[in-house]
Structure 1
Amino acid sequence: MIGRWQSICPTVRELAHPSLKARRGEKWTGSTACRDTMWLTLLYSCTGGAALLYALYRWLIPAAVQYHGGLALIWHDVIVEWILDTLTHSTRPQRLLSAVQKNATRGDPSSVVKAIDQFCRQKEWAMNVGDEKGCILDLVVSEVNPTFVLELGTYCGYSTVRIARLLPPHAKVITLEFNPDFAAIAHQVIAWAGLEDKVHLIVGASGDWIPKMKEQFGLNSFDLVFLDHWKDRYLPDTKLMEECGLLRQGSILLADNVICPGAPDYLDYVRRSSQYESQYFKSHLEYTKVEDGLEKSIFLG
């Protein structure tokens, strides 16, 4: 046993009695060699640990939560966002805007949509309607060919750009965002897409603004309403729009995230009410494999 240890740290006997080495005219380097070995071991351990953590963060955990809605939202929308906000001293909307300014062509709405989708798939998840459900949104907008669109929940302006770029001349999107920081980013994204003339961005609560829409904008009703704000506001805001006469016969409500995170009371209402003819479009939660979808509801009056 002693002989094995001596092969690593010269000899125990020489460490205990340096004078023995001095008699042979050798430098006493045993303790230095042990210390170097210790530091190398520590370095390798730290490097391996860092690589493992990166693999967990970048690939393993995202893959594991791909099919579970609750875990996906907690991981992407809470944990990762907090980590990146702390490390970069910025916010997710600010990072998204930087990606648009770096990768999208100014005045080209489609390049803005593409830049955001690339950012969300390759860099950092964000709560946009996403590319998959976005195609369904595009189809509905093209089918309705609306003159007046109300969007509840702007976030960073992704869906606003998707809608506005498909509108006929002189059509308008009125988009409502409660968070002023999100609205500030959305304004810049919309401007970068060159769609300022088609979009009116309002900062405030939906419950406060819906009753003022007719007076404020001189309109009778909306042809299309896209609901993508707080899920517990879908039903009360729909009923408020009915009370305020903002829905005409044939107006379309298109609601996002009706399965994940879900809006069960809203779904129950539009599916059971004789005032609506409703259709579900199955899809996935933005940039994941979690089941989600859009509910398209035609107001029958």
Structure 2
Amino acid sequence: MNTLSAPRTVAVLDRLYAAAAESARRGPTPTAKPIPEMNAAEKADALEQAYMPLSPEGGRLLYALTRSARPTTVVEFGMSYGISTLHLAAAVADNGIGQVYTTELSATKVAAARATFAEAGLDQHVTVLAGDALDTLATVDGPIGLVLLDGWKDLYVPVLRKIENRLAPGALVVADNTDFESVGDYLAHVRDPANGYVSIALPIAEGMEVSCRA
């Protein structure tokens, strides 16, 4: 079974990727304060119309990794409009085991993504944790078998450290947009053998890093 290729899932993903392309074409919404100077909540409000999607190639990688690892608990940091979440949920559905716990601070995106998951028929496989991920992830029990980091880049390390003691042996941690300079501290963390990971960089879109909790 491959829910990722099912017509219902494909139709939803095509719609979302088209909307993301249109959002990118329009450009960012002007704000009174520069984005880098905002806190997480201010950024979420300012960018509530921005899709910031995982690439299709990255989505297929996520699906394949999740199918292979068969995690009972999947954590996603940074749901946005739910494109990456749909790839994770499709894999969990096809595995017949597991649940995706995804985090998002924007109320607009939370409402839209919940409707999207229902449209795709995958809502029963997704638990949306609305609010600050550093708070909401405390409610997720371990062992966590797979993690996607795709929210604010400067929070990759704090989020990982928040859940690190609940990672299963051999858990996979996937980080997106690792070509960004702001991900440097995170890459240093997972590439240092003293921190307990075996990590590899993949040339997908704007960079992805796959790390195994060894």
Alignment TM class, shorter chain as reference: 0.7 to 0.9
Residue in 1 aligned with 2:20? 120
SS at match of 1:283: coil
Q: CA deviation at 1:117?
A: 2.2
Q: C-alpha separation between the residues in 2 aligned to 1:114 and 1:261?
A: 30
TM-score, scaled to structure 2: 0.78
Instruction: Compare CA radii of gyration and give the structure with the larger one.
Output: 1
- Give the root-mean-square deviation of aligned CA atoms: 1.9
Residue in 2 aligned with 1:281? 202
| Paired residue total | 180
Unaligned runs of 5+ in 1: 1-106, 215-219, 285-291
Cα 1:283–1:187, aligned 2, differ >3 Å: closer, same or farther? same
Residue in 2 aligned with 1:225? 147
Residue in 1 aligned with 2:168? 248
What percent of counterpart residues are identical?
A: 28
Tell me the alpha carbon deviations over residues 38-95 of structure 1, each in whole angstroms, 9 at most, x when there is no partner.
Answer: xxxxxxxxxxxxxxxxxxxxxxxxxxxxxxxxxxxxxxxxxxxxxxxxxxxxxxxxxx
Residue in 1 aligned with 2:156? 234
Are the equivalent residues in 1 in contact too, given 2:64–2:91 (CA < 8 A)? no
Residue in 1 aligned with 2:60? 135
Q: C-alpha separation between the residues in 2 aligned to 1:277 and 1:192?
A: 37
Tell me the alpha carbon deviations over residues 180-208 of structure 1, each in whole angstroms, 9 at most, x when there is no partner.
Answer: 11111111111111111111111011111
- Structure number with the higher helix fraction is 1
Cα 1:212–1:120, aligned 2, differ >3 Å: closer, same or farther? closer
Q: C-alpha separation between the residues in 2 aligned to 1:273 and 1:266?
A: 13
Q: Relative contact order (C-alpha < 8 Å, sep 6+): which is higher?
A: 2
Are the equivalent residues in 1 in contact too, given 2:171–2:213 (CA < 8 A)? yes
Cα 1:207–1:146, aligned 2, differ >3 Å: closer, same or farther? same
Letter in 2 for 1:183: V
TM-score, scaled to structure 1: 0.56
Q: How does 1:115-194 map to 2 (within 5 A)?
A: 115-121=15-21, 123-125=22-24, 126-167=51-92, 168-194=95-121
Cα 1:170–1:135, aligned 2, differ >3 Å: closer, same or farther? closer
Q: CA deviation at 1:139?
A: 2.4
Are the equivalent residues in 1 in contact too, given 2:73–2:98 (CA < 8 A)? yes
1:263 to 183, 193, 204: 183
Are the equivalent residues in 1 in contact too, given 2:172–2:213 (CA < 8 A)? yes
Q: C-alpha separation between the residues in 2 aligned to 1:237 and 1:299?
A: 15
1:297 to 205, 211, 214: 211
After TM superposition, the structure 1 stretch with the greater mean CA deviation from structure 2, 180-189 or 128-137, is: 128-137
